[in-house]
Chain A
Amino acid sequence: MLPQVPWPGLLAAAVLLFFAAAIGMEMRLDALGYQPTARDSQERWQAARARASRLGERALILVGASRFQLGLDLDVLRRETGLEPVQLALDGSGGEPILAGLANDPKIRGTVLVEYYDHTVGARGGVAEDMQRRHEKSSGRLRLWKRPAERSETRLTEWLHERLNAYADGANPWSSLRWRILPAAEARQYLVTRPDRSRLADYARVDMPDFYYRRVARTLGEEIDVKGPSIEALLAQRIAALKAEDNADFLAASREVGRMAEQIRARGGQVIFVAMPSSGMVREIERRRYPRERFWERFVAETGLPGIHSDHEPELRGYACPDGSHLDVRDRGRYTAALADLMKRKGFLAPDQGGTRQ
């Protein structure tokens, strides 16, 4: 039994009303300064990982976390090294599961830049482990079984999401409405994800110094009200009380990392560790918890791998991280060029990449 309703007209009116509301949302988000971005989705990471295998020795594979994603300019790396950069860094995750996967993949014969962060050496689990597991599962399947509908859906979704403000930086329209349009205080987008999975951070668009204090509190691993009185003094007091971490597990994990890297080097590849810059109280926390002589220097000694620590290289010093932990979009190009130049001069890259391999 059909309900006697003039459906064609009613549906057309509903569609028009819906589009009017969606366009209204887009215009409001635009007025608030939001812009469409790529989505750092699981599918995008998997595609990048597959590309890393395909590129062979031409690949410059970046493994790490947000400091690589925000701090390295892939276009500059491409220009300076002649290699094809592939961004595999994952926000909020240690890169070791990914490095282990690369070590076990016989197709990986290129250069691997690994973000060094003392506390992530030996870290397993989390997003990186999950991504690696999914990669192994999907690459184990025969090509025949890959699902055309899934592939087409990924492309269509990416195409649409990269054109609408409502999906900016991983949001969906509901979160955009709830957190970006409805709040009385004007929200501003400071991160833009690019299709190559790198991310641009414009810290001129965040509320300082609260944003910085929140990052310091997060690095301390504490929940502190950053709007409280004497926040600077309170944080300084907490930092002063920090003790150096024990390095026994760290050293064992370092040796394991060395073994992974050796597998890649045995195939003609290269593995280089890079500690990105940090600033202010964040750097002070890292120095106190992970003293250079007990962590970084022991790491380099145990693994025997080439490494660059931004704090210890004159060419890489002087880059201020506005939130204490990440480079601003205005600095990433210069920093990346300086890093590439240093890698070449130190001989970490092969001769045809502008260096003399160590």
Chain B
Amino acid sequence: MVFNSFTFLIFFAVVFGLYWLLPGWAARKWLLLIASYVFYGAWSPPYVFLLLASTFLDWWLARLIGRSADPRRRRWLLVASLAGNLGLLGYFKYGSFLLDNFAVLLASAGIAWQPVDAGIVLPIGISFYTFASLSYTIDVYRGEMRADSKFSDYALFVSFFPHLVAGPILRARNLLPQIAAPRRPTLNEVGWGLALFCFGLFCKVVMADALFAPVVDEVFAAPGKFGAADTWAAALAFSGQIYYDFNGYSLCAIGLALCFGYAFPDNFRHPYAAVGFSDFWRRWHISLSTWLRDYLYIPLGGNRGGAWRAGRSLMLTMLIGGLWHGASWMFVLWGGLHGFYLWAERLLQRNGAVAPDEGRQRLRQVLTFVVVTLTWIPFRAPDADTALGILAGLFRSGLPPMLDLPGLAAIAAMIFTVAWHMSMRERRFEPVIAAWGKSRQLATVTGCLAAMYLFSGGDQRAFIYFQF
């Protein structure tokens, strides 16, 4: 079930209504748990059992870790949790990819072998819920959390429908205490939650799908056909599409959770105003970048052990981060490029070549945005040929622009987006909208609703991040 569907609106209205009618906290939590499993099962009923099994395994292993004082046993239990989660992820997400690559490797050695098509269907959101669940066992192992949650509370943490299929990736230490403590959302929380949901859907339906996606799809489908102007429009448009798609989803998730009284952390903080790449990753998909930092980069050594060792940890983290997005070498390349930028930036900063607070911030913002935009090309391209075709197209002269109005609209929207991010870089949206006059607030919300209606009824695209 996607958020931009009538089915979800009806589902939400029913769950929200019942939530307010039910008297007790325990009953409300059970309602949310059952609703979350219905939400997941509506995509594919059998995979509900996979979610349940994965949840139970981590909850049970975390309890055993919490009760054990033997470091060796604790370590083995953690390994079991890691193997369970990463094994699921490996089988469902990377199984075919690994077999295909193995076949290529054999072929290069002159051995012809074709893997059987196992017809594996990727369980939606598996990358998100396995990471959320893993954070719990690791935190318990590190002694940062107590493993005393009830199974139903823990199951609600993993499956709570606003974040279940596309994040933000929540930590048990953030959400479990909220689940444990009874609360009733205020009218203002519900109102702001619904407003955020409305803004999130606007980002998805209007900006990502109606404005940017058609330009991106057309150029990436036939990169050789277009000249520099159109190819730049498509590259910029993909920067816009992926931001509005994923940020839209995150806003929806945050807003929906708030309607039930739960606070989710921000997942984006005006990333296209970033000054440099470490700043970019503090602003883009924050829940993933902090997860990778805390559970991968730091255990790999982090900043310790000199520039080369830190660089190796950084590269490994970003390569794995790239692979997390999908079973394709293009994602690995994208992650590797970002790893390289982060490493190079760190070396330059260490050598004093880039002072963090020097006055040319605006120029560095624009440069960061341009490099990030170009780096999205391998992320979006299905294969290396397409990516190279797009890169060549950026410098292809002699072909007149063909995309006209859609291309111009995409470029204009991206200029507006970057300018908005720069102006909002150090600010939050809440005080800004609160300072607007009533008529402007009303016009904004009404405009979002009207625009969503106007652009409804076309090709319904699933949120990009559902596939990850």
* Residue ranges of A at the interface with B (Cβ–Cβ < 8 Å): 1-8, 10-11, 13-15, 17-18, 21-22, 144-145, 147-149, 152-153, 156-157, 160-161, 166-167, 171-174, 177
Q: 5 pairs across A/B with beta carbons < 8 Å?
A: A3-B431, A14-B445, A156-B5, A173-B456, A174-B210
Q: Is B442 an interface residue (CB 8 A)?
A: yes
Provide the main secondary structure of the chain B interface. helix
Which B242-281 residues have a C-beta within 8 angstroms of A?
Answer: none
CB distance from B205 to the nearest CB of A (A): 11
- Separation of A331 and B457 alpha carbons in the complex (Å): 32
Partner of B457, one of A3, A8, A18, A161: A161
Residues of A within 8 A of B46 (CB): 144-145
Q: Given that A1-B428, A13-B442 are known contacts, is A152 also in contact with B7, CB under 8 Å in the complex? A: yes
- Separation of A145 and B5 alpha carbons in the complex (Å): 20
Partner of A3, one of B121, B192, B438: B192
* Residue ranges of B at the interface with A (Cβ–Cβ < 8 Å): 1-2, 5-7, 10, 41-46, 121, 187-192, 194-195, 198, 210, 428, 430-431, 433-434, 438, 441-442, 445-446, 449-450, 453-458, 460
Partner of A2, one of B7, B188, B454, B456: B188
Question: Which A-chain residue is minimally distant from B436 (CB atoms)?
Answer: A5
Q: Given that A7-B195, A153-B7, A167-B457 are known contacts, is A14 also in contact with B434, CB under 8 Å in the complex? A: no
Residues of A within 8 A of B210 (CB): 174
CB distance A148 to B45 under 8 Å? yes
Residues of A within 8 A of B195 (CB): 7, 10-11
CB distance from B435 to the nearest CB of A (A): 9
Residues of B within 8 A of A157 (CB): 6, 457
Q: Considering residues A14, A17, A18, A156, which has the most beta carbons from chain B within 10 angstroms of its beta carbon?
A: A14
Partner of B42, one of A15, A149, A160, A166: A149
CB distance A10 to B442 under 8 Å? yes
CB distance B7 to A174 under 8 Å? no
Partner of A18, one of B41, B453, B456, B460: B453
Partner of A5, one of B2, B7, B198, B433: B433
- Separation of A8 and B2 alpha carbons in the complex (Å): 25
Provide the main secondary structure of the chain A interface. helix
CB distance A10 to B454 under 8 Å? no
Beyond the given A156-B5, A172-B454, please list 18 additional residue pairs across the A-B interface where CB-CB is below 8 A: A3-B431, A5-B192, A7-B195, A10-B438, A10-B442, A11-B445, A15-B449, A18-B446, A22-B453, A147-B43, A147-B44, A149-B1, A149-B7, A156-B6, A156-B7, A157-B6, A171-B457, A172-B457
CB distance from B121 to the nearest CB of A (A): 6
CB distance B191 to A11 under 8 Å? yes
In order of increasing CB-CB distance, the 9 nearest A-B pairs are: A7-B191, A172-B457, A3-B434, A149-B42, A14-B445, A149-B1, A18-B449, A156-B6, A174-B454
Question: Which B-chain residue is minimally distant from A22 (CB atoms)?
Answer: B453
Q: Given that A147-B44, A172-B454 are known contacts, is A7 also in contact with B187, CB under 8 Å in the complex? A: yes
CB distance B446 to A17 under 8 Å? yes
- Separation of A22 and B456 alpha carbons in the complex (Å): 12
Q: Considering residues A8, A22, A149, A167, which has the most beta carbons from chain B within 10 angstroms of its beta carbon?
A: A149
Residues of A within 8 A of B450 (CB): 18, 21-22
Q: Considering residues B44, B190, B457, which has the most beta carbons from chain A within 10 angstroms of its beta carbon?
A: B457
Residues of B within 8 A of A11 (CB): 191, 194-195, 198, 445
- Separation of A299 and B5 alpha carbons in the complex (Å): 48
Q: Given that A2-B189, A148-B41, A148-B45 are known contacts, is A7 also in contact with B194, CB under 8 Å in the complex? A: yes
Residues of A within 8 A of B187 (CB): 7-8
Residues of B within 8 A of A177 (CB): 454
Residues of B within 8 A of A174 (CB): 210, 454-455
Q: Given that A3-B431, A149-B1, A149-B5 are known contacts, is A173 also in contact with B453, CB under 8 Å in the complex? A: yes
- Separation of A6 and B442 alpha carbons in the complex (Å): 11
- Separation of A174 and B454 alpha carbons in the complex (Å): 4
- Separation of A87 and B428 alpha carbons in the complex (Å): 55
- Separation of A115 and B445 alpha carbons in the complex (Å): 51
Q: Considering residues B5, B428, B458, which has the most beta carbons from chain A within 10 angstroms of its beta carbon?
A: B5
Q: Given that A15-B449, A161-B457 are known contacts, is A2 also in contact with B430, CB under 8 Å in the complex? A: yes
Question: Which B-chain residue is minimally distant from A18 (CB atoms)?
Answer: B449
CB distance B449 to A145 under 8 Å? no
Residues of B within 8 A of A21 (CB): 450
CB distance A173 to B454 under 8 Å? yes
Q: Given that A18-B453, A145-B46 are known contacts, is A172 also in contact with B192, CB under 8 Å in the complex? A: no
- Separation of A185 and B441 alpha carbons in the complex (Å): 36
Residues of A within 8 A of B428 (CB): 1
CB distance A17 to B6 under 8 Å? no
CB distance from B386 to the nearest CB of A (A): 20
Residues of A within 8 A of B189 (CB): 2
CB distance B430 to A3 under 8 Å? yes
Question: Which A-chain residue is minimally distant from B431 (CB atoms)?
Answer: A3
Residues of A within 8 A of B43 (CB): 147, 149
CB distance from A71 to the nearest CB of B (A): 28
Question: Which B-chain residue is minimally distant from A173 (CB atoms)?
Answer: B454
- Separation of A161 and B458 alpha carbons in the complex (Å): 11
CB distance from A120 to the nearest CB of B (A): 25
CB distance from B299 to the nearest CB of A (A): 33
Question: Which B-chain residue is minimally distant from A144 (CB atoms)?
Answer: B46
Q: Given that A10-B441, A149-B42 are known contacts, is A172 also in contact with B458, CB under 8 Å in the complex? A: yes
CB distance from B290 to the nearest CB of A (A): 20
Partner of A7, one of B2, B7, B121, B188: B188
- Separation of A108 and B271 alpha carbons in the complex (Å): 56
- Separation of A157 and B456 alpha carbons in the complex (Å): 10
Partner of A10, one of B44, B445, B456: B445
CB distance B457 to A14 under 8 Å? no
- Separation of A2 and B191 alpha carbons in the complex (Å): 10
- Separation of A118 and B189 alpha carbons in the complex (Å): 65
CB distance A8 to B191 under 8 Å? yes
CB distance B192 to A7 under 8 Å? yes
CB distance A14 to B446 under 8 Å? yes
Residues of B within 8 A of A2 (CB): 188-189, 192, 430
CB distance from B195 to the nearest CB of A (A): 6
Residues of A within 8 A of B433 (CB): 3, 5
CB distance from A182 to the nearest CB of B (A): 12
CB distance from A23 to the nearest CB of B (A): 11
CB distance from B142 to the nearest CB of A (A): 30
- Separation of A156 and B42 alpha carbons in the complex (Å): 15
Residues of B within 8 A of A3 (CB): 192, 430-431, 433-434
CB distance A17 to B191 under 8 Å? no
Residues of B within 8 A of A156 (CB): 5-7, 10
- Separation of A161 and B6 alpha carbons in the complex (Å): 12
